[in-house]
């Protein structure tokens, strides 16, 4: 007899199926490996030699009428949640006094019908379905480690109750709307009860009674051959995996008489017929078509267009981080200011926001607070002035960085401003900030202990105050201190009919867009270049005024 190649990988395998799980069929083959089995495979005795015939060692039929081969080898095809009774259950449910629940009485009726029809067909192989007590007890009592005295952790206990808790709560959660989506001050008990994700799960166990022949029906002889779990998403978990082309699994019993068993688990689900697959494809196609029509009805068939001569600006932004500040527990207050002329926004649009308070994290020499706070807004620009000299303005983003201390008192850490990008696309902007300061140590002591500090009454003073009407803005005598910087990530979209029309409107609007594109750079680049030219001119004049011998 060739040596049996055992399959040692008893881990679980995960499958996903769109087919209803009720079509699942498994073939389980169980066989006992004993000395009599091996003797049966030895070559026959040669004639003329004083050898005993091996047929003498073959076991005889048992008193129950079943042959020993049926006790030692069995093959059963099992469907999903199909109930096969064990000898223990047959003996238990024969007694009506042992039936306590409606399920017990139902099992008793089924067992009586089986006995009237000739008895059950299975001998050693049986099943525990999702409704049986064994399923609940096994999920609660199974061990996670190989330790002899394992103490289950809190997570293990909660995961053991996931299936039952979800099924008990299903009606309540579907019918009653939760009043609070976010619990700002969760209690410890609330955190413990809501820490585990609940997923509806059904379980089935394929078992085997590996007791000696004629002594079936003892709990200590029951062993798990295969565990099947199916959730509501069509994910099937099998432990151990289907045998397939691998060798059989082995199982060795404990006790005085140790016996070796081998078994295989194969998927024998019938394949769908071509006409069934075609009908299923038509159903899916019709379903997807109806869903597409439903989505189209929600979106509409007409694409929303802007009015002639208008530019619509969409900004999906994110406050990424803030770094380089003196104190911890930072939060950012920001808002977008639209120019007073030619710009507007919807009435429901919110152009300001406040991030959450974030603790800083050391990154090199700086302390960085990561916010990842998203925001979005929409604005429209309507070009009415036809003169070429009219320079359009662009929206500006203001930000104010503050910190909180232990007593919930805030300090101003810095102010910053930046013009929104005039070109569509993704942009990452780093906004430097500054804060007003007073001379002397008294102001710093007051800032540290009390939390008070100088603040701007009008945040637009960071850029150009809205009340300013002159030609030159002087900040002479205003003392400031450079602090950290705030990082914004902006995704800008622009919509205008000028992008698709070839008439004079496109040319007129294109000139406006070109000026808009350069507006955000004119105020900074031109001023820097002009200052550089003036400094270079003064340096040349100073060199020319020096004596020749120097």
Shared domain for 250 and 346, answered yes or no, is: no
Q: 73 in helix, strand or coil?
A: strand
Shared domain for 324 and 264, answered yes or no, is: no
Q: Look at residue 292 and tell me if it is in a domain.
A: no
Domain count, the chain: 2
- pLDDT tens per residue across all 550 residues of the chain: 455 678 888 888 999 888 888 889 999 999 988 644 444 444 444 555 455 454 444 444 444 444 455 567 899 999 999 999 999 999 888 888 888 888 889 999 999 998 888 888 888 999 999 888 776 666 555 666 777 777 777 776 666 655 444 444 433 333 444 445 677 777 877 776 666 555 678 899 999 998 887 788 888 889 999 999 998 888 999 999 999 888 899 888 876 677 889 999 999 988 877 888 888 889 989 999 999 888 888 877 777 777 777 888 999 999 999 999 988 899 999 999 988 888 888 888 888 999 999 999 888 888 899 999 999 999 988 876 555 445 568 899 999 999 988 878 888 889 999 999 988 999 999 999 998 887 777 777 777 777 667 778 777 778 877 777 777 877 777 888 889 999 999 999 988 877 766 555 455 555 555 555 544 444 444 444 555 566 667 767 776 776 655 4
Shared domain for 262 and 351, answered yes or no, is: no
Q: Look at residue 91 and tell me if it is in a domain.
A: no
Q: Look at residue 29 and tell me if it is in a domain.
A: yes
Shared domain for 358 and 223, answered yes or no, is: no
Backbone angles phi, psi at 496, to 5 degrees: -160, 150
Contacts 24+ apart (CB under 8 A), 408-413: 409/450, 409/451, 410/451, 411/327, 411/447, 411/451, 411/452, 411/453, 412/436, 412/453, 412/454, 412/455, 413/325, 413/326, 413/327, 413/330, 413/483, 413/484
Rounded to two decimals, the pTM is 0.45
Q: Look at residue 137 and tell me if it is in a domain.
A: yes
Q: Pairing mode, if any, of strands 396-404 and 366-382? A: unpaired
Q: Look at residue 301 and tell me if it is in a domain.
A: no
Shared domain for 77 and 197, answered yes or no, is: yes
Cα(294)–Cα(215) distance, rounded to whole angstroms?
A: 64
Cα(158)–Cα(153) distance, rounded to whole angstroms?
A: 9
Domain hosting 31: range is 13-41+70-84+121-141+152-171+179-272
Q: Look at residue 189 and tell me if it is in a domain.
A: yes
């Amino acid at each position: 007899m060739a040596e049996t190649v055992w399959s040692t990988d008893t881990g679980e395998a995960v499958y996903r199926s769109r087919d209803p799980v009720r079509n699942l069929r498994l073939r389980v083959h169980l066989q006992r490996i004993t000395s009599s089995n091996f003797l049966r495979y030895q070559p026959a005795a040669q004639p003329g030699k004083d050898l005993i015939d091996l047929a003498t060692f073959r076991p005889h039929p048992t008193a129950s009428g079943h042959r020993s081969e049926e006790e030692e080898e069995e093959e059963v095809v099992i469907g999903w949640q199909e109930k096969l009774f064990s000898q223990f259950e047959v003996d238990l449910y024969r007694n009506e006094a042992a039936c306590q629940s409606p399920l017990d009485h139902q099992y008793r009726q089924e067992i009586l019908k089986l006995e009237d029809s000739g008895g059950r067909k299975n001998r050693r192989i049986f099943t525990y379905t999702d409704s049986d007590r064994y399923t609940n007890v096994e999920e609660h009592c199974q061990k996670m480690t190989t330790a002899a005295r394992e103490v289950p952790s809190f997570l293990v206990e909660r995961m053991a109750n996931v299936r039952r808790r979800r099924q008990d709560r299903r009606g309540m959660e579907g019918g009653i709307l939760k009043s609070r989506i976010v619990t700002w001050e969760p209690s410890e008990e609330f955190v413990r009860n809501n820490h585990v994700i609940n997923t509806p799960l059904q379980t089935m166990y394929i078992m085997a009674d590996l007791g000696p022949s004629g002594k079936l029906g003892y709990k200590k002889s029951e062993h798990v051959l295969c565990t099947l779990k199916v959730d509501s998403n069509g994910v099937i978990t099998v432990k151990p995996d289907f045998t397939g082309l691998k060798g059989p699994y082995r199982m060795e019993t404990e006790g005085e008489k140790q016996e070796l068993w081998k078994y295989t688990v194969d998927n024998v689900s019938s394949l769908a017929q071509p006409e069934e697959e075609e009908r299923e494809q038509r159903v899916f196609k019709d379903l997807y078509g109806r869903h597409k029509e439903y989505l189209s009805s929600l979106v509409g068939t007409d694409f929303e267009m802007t009015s002639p001569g208008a530019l619509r600006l969409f900004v999906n932004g994110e406050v990424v981080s803030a770094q380089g500040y003196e104190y911890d527990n930072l939060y950012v207050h920001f808002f977008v200011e639209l120019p007073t002329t030619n710009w507007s926004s919807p009435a429901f649009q919110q152009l300001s926001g406040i991030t959450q308070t974030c603790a800083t994290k050391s990154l090199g020499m700086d302390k960085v607070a990561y916010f990842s706070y998203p925001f979005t807004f929409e604005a429209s620009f309507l070009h009415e002035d036809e003169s070429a000299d009219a320079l359009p303005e662009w929206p500006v983003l203001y930000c104010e960085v503050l910190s909180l201390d232990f007593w919930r008192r805030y300090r101003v850490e810095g102010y910053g401003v930046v013009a929104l990008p005039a070109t569509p696309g993704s942009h990452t902007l780093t906004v430097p900030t500054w804060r007003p300061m007073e001379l002397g140590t008294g102001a710093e002591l007051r800032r540290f202990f009390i939390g008070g500090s100088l603040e701007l009454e009008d945040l637009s003073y960071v850029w150009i105050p809205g009340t300013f009407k002159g030609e030159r803005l002087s900040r002479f005598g205003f003392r400031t201190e450079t602090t950290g910087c705030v990082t914004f990530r902006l995704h800008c979209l622009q919509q205008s009919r000028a992008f698709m029309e070839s008439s004079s409107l496109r040319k007129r609007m294109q000139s406006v867009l070109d000026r808009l594109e350069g507006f955000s750079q004119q105020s900074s680049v031109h001023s820097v270049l002009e200052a550089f030219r003036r400094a270079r001119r003064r340096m040349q004049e100073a060199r020319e005024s020096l004596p020749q011998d120097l």
